[in-house]
Structures are given as C-alpha cells and as structure tokens.
Amino acid sequence: MSILEKYSAAIKNKDEAAMNELLHDDFKFTMHKSGSVLTKSDVIKWAMSGDIKQDKNRIVYENDEVGVHHAFVTFDDGNVEAVMAVYKYKDGKMISLETGATPMPK
C-alpha cells in the first residue's frame, strides 16, 4: 500500500497511530486558501476530530519523493471543496503538504 493510500485510510478510520507513523516530526501543512500552516500535531488532532470526509480519492502521481492527490472533501459545517494536494516525502514519511481548494456548490 502506498503512503497516500495509508494516509487516506488513516483519516477515514481515525487511526492516530498510523497518522503518527506516516507524518514526519517536522511535518508542515500549508493551506494556500487560508494561508494557514499546521504542524504534525495540528493535523492529527484535526483528522481525529472527524471533520475531514474524503470522497472520490484519486492518486494522481506518487513516487519515493512526492505524492499528488485529489479528493472532494466534505467538512462538518457542510462545506465541500475539491482539494488538490501535493506531498513531499522524507525518510519514507510525509514531510510537507500543500493544498489548493476550490469550493463546490452545496
């Protein structure tokens, strides 16, 4: 199973141990839509909250250095976004994530 497949499964199953294993200790998540930067602990806390529900997951590209993922994400507030994500890997773990999101009609 690829890193992105494991990551998507960890979010879906709220698997905190898997999230800890997949994310590098220096992990940074840059959300270009809001300008926010989240740390490893921020992302794990958010994923465990159940706020992130991915649909139509698609791995666009993945190798040992990078992964590109697209999904439709529904949040608890009812907002739906088409999210394109680019991950960089280091030591077999995710070291960074940058996303661009397009709001979708409800």
Task: Look at the block and give the residue holding tokens 């999904």.
Answer: 71
Domains of the chain as residue ranges with CATH = 3-104 (3.10.450.50)
| Pairing mode, strands 93-104 and 23-31 | parallel
The yes-or-no verdict on residue 17 having pLDDT over 90 is yes
Q: What are the pLDDT digits (tens) for 64-78?
A: 999 999 999 999 899
Instruction: Please tell me the distance from the alpha carbon of residue 37 to that of residue 45, in angstroms, as a whole number.
Output: 14
The pLDDT value recorded for residue 9 is 95
Sign of the dihedral through C-alpha 52, 35, 84, 98: negative
Partner residues linked to 68 by β-bridges: 61, 86
The pLDDT value recorded for residue 44 is 97
pTM: 0.90
The yes-or-no verdict on residue 52 having pLDDT over 90 is no
Average pLDDT, the chain: 95
